[in-house]
Structure 1
């Protein structure tokens, strides 16, 4: 098994479990439903966390392989998989080296995870590797603001925020990273969302991109 020791953040994981439940009640559940609507076939979910997406997968999905590096969150995801409406297999691994085969998936899902992967380019290259030609990436992420004041504030707080929030970088331009990875964004909406009352409202993007057929 790959060494996942650098991904172990038990204090953050426990806080994330509490916050994610509250966030679901604050509108995040609806965003997850939009993210996953219409998926079918075989899906890899990268950074599955505690499995909050699982109950939203549509019945046309044949299998979800859910990759999560953090031990506590992965254990929670395994419990959530038991109540999922589709088959979910939870595996240990991380976005920079997905423990799955080349071209084996109809879709990949990233949900509030590209903010915290060590290297977006590496993670998105892995997405391209595991998708079949014409396969799609579904993404739901918080991103750097286009407004200059908030954007600069996000830049300023990022070094400290990374320490307290499990490596999260709130100032990433994730849509640009997706395009630079050679994936074609076909649909994207941008909106402000406050996951929990104790956090500020931040810009989010939700959409889909496709791996070219050739």
Structure 2
């Protein structure tokens, strides 16, 4: 899965977004995570520095070759053991029930099939395992921004932004996939800028028995 232009733009922009507040979102996303983690769509490894010491290992799955190489570099300086592997969200190279936590970070917008990706997360999690997610999502129904999102998704946005779709109700998809959402926060990022990818959520969910 190659998006060479977007991958390079993202890798350049990500540190700036982190300085604007995304780094704090990543820190909160991963606070308290422990055990064996599978990160789906690890990008250039922007999350690796925020994994706490209680994490025994991270399997970081990234299908885009340029971003995967950047993630391999980032893994070398991580404080926990990170293994970067090739793979896609709908076919994770991970055994059934082998993960304590699955992390999605700004990736469920771009997977071709959210249901398939979440089904894979369910497959690799142990009973009672945890899903952590930080995503941009659909704006409030009926709002002008929601209309802008639908138009963007139907035209050029996914083509130029690595397959990203802005008008996805990701929390609803997580619930429908068999997870119970335990924490969910909605916010705008960057603050004060009403862009199609502005509405964000940060939360955690538990795999229902």
* 2:97 counterpart of 1:103: yes
The equivalent residue for 2:164 is: 168
* 2:43 counterpart of 1:49: yes
Could you give the per-residue CA deviations for residues 94-128 of structure 1, whole angstroms, max 9, x where no partner exists?
Answer: 10100010000000000000000000000000000
Distance change (3 Å), C-alpha of 1:13 and 1:122: same
Match among 121, 127, 130 for residue 127 of structure 1: 121
Aligned residues: 207
Structure 1 residue 55, shift from structure 2 partner = 0.1
CA distance, structure 1, for counterparts of residue 152 and residue 38 of structure 2: 32
Could you give the per-residue CA deviations for residues 107-162 of structure 1, whole angstroms, max 9, x where no partner exists?
Answer: 00000000000000000000000000000000000001015211011001113100
Distance change (3 Å), C-alpha of 1:56 and 1:132: same
Q: Secondary structure at the match of 1:169?
A: coil
The equivalent residue for 2:151 is: 156
When normalised by structure 1's length, the TM-score is: 0.93
Structure 1 residue 200, shift from structure 2 partner = 6.2
Moved over 6 A (4+): none
The equivalent residue for 1:67 is: 61
Could you give the per-residue CA deviations for residues 48-107 of structure 1, whole angstroms, max 9, x where no partner exists?
Answer: 000000000000000000000000000000000000010000000010100010000000
CA distance, structure 1, for counterparts of residue 197 and residue 85 of structure 2: 32
CA distance, structure 1, for counterparts of residue 194 and residue 171 of structure 2: 26
Q: Secondary structure at the match of 2:53?
A: coil
Q: Which runs of 5+ in 1 are unaligned?
A: 1-6
The equivalent residue for 1:4 is: none
Match among 71, 82, 89 for residue 77 of structure 1: 71
Structure 1 residue 24, shift from structure 2 partner = 0.7
Distance change (3 Å), C-alpha of 1:201 and 1:110: closer
CA distance, structure 2, for counterparts of residue 200 and residue 163 of structure 1: 15
When normalised by structure 2's length, the TM-score is: 0.96
Root-mean-square deviation (CA, aligned residues, Å) is 1.6
Match among 176, 180, 186 for residue 176 of structure 2: 180
Conservation of the 8 A alpha-carbon contact between 1:194 and 1:201: no
Could you give the per-residue CA deviations for residues 3-53 of structure 1, whole angstroms, max 9, x where no partner exists?
Answer: xxxx10111111010111111111000000000000000000000000000
CA distance, structure 1, for counterparts of residue 194 and residue 83 of structure 2: 33
